[in-house]
């Protein structure tokens, strides 16, 4: 439920999420060396190094940052051990009170989306037993297949108090090839925005926002501003701040006047702050997370 | 490389792929009972039941069907044990000479797509060691993010002789909400078709087909016919035959006059043939696979 995320954002006065997209290159040498020494240069060794990396980041951020966003691809590339690391990262972040947005951009025909929805937001039947598989709080979803590919996710949101963010306008350079085409006087991302609004209409919580959110990149501030007006009750997950080029004044356009309505992601700038600025992994990440928070709160104050 | 798939299709004179989307409900009772007895009603028990199910299907099909298509969602819903089962299914099918199309519909911004591409079509660096994680032959990919989300996949296709099928016109009922919008006189699925053509232009093999294929549903035969003309060098992965309503005369529209150009998927009708027609799991699946093959070859002969 979006209410849980909003409460964590309010409690920490921090509308940001730390992306956990851990390439092995980002892991401090001594952390990598220790894991490889114990487990060899194997998937297990890599996964253990990344898990230590993630735990250090979570330990240094959980009291000031409301949420983490593990990016599934970076765990899947380390095979089964990588996925074990993803699961343990989700569990660890939740145990520290953080909201977990799993960035998997899943989406398929109805029956298959139902399986994805169970995997990440619901529970799986195992004979007479029912258990959650990955149990994130929220999942990113790809809308290319339309309503029947989304409904299984919203069903799980309702059943289990979870949320989704649906891709609307993504932060990458070539996002416009499809998303900026115009049809019936509306951009495709506007068509998607209208669909997302409908999908979320019955899931609006205490603060006036729906548990069906939208991904809106920081790198397209004009489009974000128009989308903000178009879908006032939709929470935005905003990637593209920092390393991808989005500035605080850009991401400010994704917020409403209530200071809510958006959560801004930064991954590399936090994970790799120690490489750029020196200091320990945890201290540098915390410092950068504070800088980012203040940068964005400042831009919101100026708005 | 699409050549490998085409050779397997020619060798077996069978342009079909068996979908492995194994719900626990599809697994014969005694197979389930045996796994639950040994491992309990746990993810491990479910995964072992599904692995036995998949192996029985593969054993009964590998000499007549060129390819399998495991659907990632149905493994992810059984957590880490489910993913182990997916990996072992991929390996087992390959050991039997089958071509493995992993249906994961992945896609993200460039750096993240690169991680997905390594996970499923490439290799992962582990210190000085480089190893494949899941190592399928081919992956389905979602194009919502445009070229820079696709290029990492085509890079891995070139480096490792792999293939991708990109969603163009999907088989589900609401696919038209986005895909049938019209922009500049072209449907969105036609825009995507033109992009797919470009993405695959440099990957055309011996038989005149590209390793960058397209997903085109059997349930929209008119659109398939138009797309077939629009992209003559693109191989089509055709879902929607059988349980979803597509007939042999419908899927015939996705083929070229050379008898190539498409591979038709059936999942439930093969996996659950024993429930419908009686007989053992393996025998019923084999019989249905032969019926499907002949049904389609017959429709192609009539074309």
Instruction: Give pLDDT, residue A303.
Output: 58
Instruction: Give pLDDT, residue B244.
Output: 81
Class of domain B2-302: alpha beta
* Residue among A109, A173, A240, A267 with most chain B CBs within 10 A, to mutate: A109
* Residue among B42, B113, B115 with most chain A CBs within 10 A, to mutate: B115
H-helix or E-strand spanning residue B106: strand B99-106
Domain A2-298: which topology? TIM Barrel (3.20.20)
Taking 70 as the pLDDT cut, the residues of chain A under it are 303
Complex ipTM above 0.95?
yes
Residue B115 contacts A, CB cutoff 8 Å? yes
Q: What is the pLDDT of residues B195-219, one digit of tens each?
A: 999 999 999 999 999 999 999 999 9
User: End-to-end alpha-carbon separation of chain B, Å?
Assistant: 28
Q: Which of residues 274-303 of B touch A (CB under 8 A)?
A: none
Instruction: Give pLDDT, residue A173.
Output: 95
Cβ distance of B110 and A191 shorter than 8 Å: no
The residues of A carrying an active-site annotation are: 105
Whether the pLDDT of residue B187 is over 90: the answer is yes
Calculate how close chain A gets to B256, using CA atoms only, in Å: 26
Compute the average pLDDT of residues B126-140: 97
Task: Give the DSSP letter string of B181-202.
Answer: -EETTEEHHHHHHHHHHHHHTT
* Residue among B172, B180, B193, B265 with most chain A CBs within 10 A, to mutate: B172
Task: Give A-chain residues touching B103 at CB under 8 angstroms.
Answer: 108
Residue A182 contacts B, CB cutoff 8 Å? yes
As a whole number of angstroms, the distance between CA B154 and CA B163 comes to 8
As a whole number of angstroms, the distance between CA B34 and CA B46 comes to 10
Range B23-60 burial, b when 16+ CB lie within 10 A, else e: bbebbbeebbeebbeebebbbbbbbbbbbbbbbbbbeb
Cβ distance of B146 and A178 shorter than 8 Å: yes
pLDDT band at B303 (very low <50, low <70, confident <90, very high): low
Helix (H, G, I), strand (E, B), or coil: what is residue B71?
Answer: strand
Instruction: Give pLDDT, residue B1.
Output: 83
Active site residue B105: yes
Whether the pLDDT of residue B20 is over 80: the answer is yes
Q: Hunting for tokens 């993240």 — which residue is that?
A: B112
Q: What is the pLDDT of residues B224-241, one digit of tens each?
A: 999 999 999 999 999 989
Helix (H, G, I), strand (E, B), or coil: what is residue B101?
Answer: strand
Listed by start position, the domains of chain A span: 2-298
> Could you tell me which chain A residue has the CA closest to the CA of B32?
A127
Residue B199: CB partners within 8 Å, gap ≥ 6?
B147, B150, B151, B154, B166, B212
Residue A74 contacts B, CB cutoff 8 Å? yes
Listed residue (B163, B174, B214) closest to B4, CA to CA:
B163
Calculate how close chain A gets to B16, using CA atoms only, in Å: 20
């Amino acid at each position: 439920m979006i209410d849980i995320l909003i409460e964590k954002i309010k409690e920490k006065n921090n509308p940001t999420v730390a992306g956990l997209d851990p390439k092995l290159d980002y892991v401090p040498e001594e952390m990598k060396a220790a894991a490889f020494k114990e487990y060899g240069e194997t998937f297990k060794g890599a996964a253990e190094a990344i898990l230590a990396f993630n735990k250090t980041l979570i330990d240094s951020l959980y009291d000031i940052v409301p949420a983490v966003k593990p990016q599934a691809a970076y765990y899947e590339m380390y095979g089964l051990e990588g996925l074990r690391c993803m699961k343990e990262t989700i569990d660890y972040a939740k145990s520290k009170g953080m909201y977990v947005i799993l960035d998997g951009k899943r989406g398929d025909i109805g029956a298959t989306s139902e399986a994805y929805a169970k995997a990440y937001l619901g529970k799986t039947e195992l004979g007479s037993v029912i258990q959650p598989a990955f149990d994130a709080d929220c999942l990113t979803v790809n809308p290319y297949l339309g309503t029947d590919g989304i409904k299984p996710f919203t069903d799980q949101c309702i059943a289990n108090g979870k949320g989704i963010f649906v891709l609307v306008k993504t932060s990458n350079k070539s996002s416009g090839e499809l998303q900026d085409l115009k049809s019936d006087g509306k951009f495709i991302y506007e068509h998607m925005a209208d669909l997302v609004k409908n999908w979320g209409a019955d899931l609006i919580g205490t603060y006036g926002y729906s548990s069906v959110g939208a991904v809106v990149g920081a790198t397209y501030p004009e489009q974000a501003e128009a989308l903000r007006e178009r879908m006032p009750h939709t929470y935005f997950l905003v990637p593209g701040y920092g390393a991808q080029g989005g500035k605080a004044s850009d991401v400010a356009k994704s917020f409403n006047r209530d200071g809510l309505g958006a959560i801004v992601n930064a991954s590399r700038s936090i994970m790799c702050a120690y490489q750029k600025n020196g200091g320990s992994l945890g201290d540098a990440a915390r410092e950068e997370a504070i800088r980012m928070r203040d940068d964005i709160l400042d831009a919101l104050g100026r708005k």
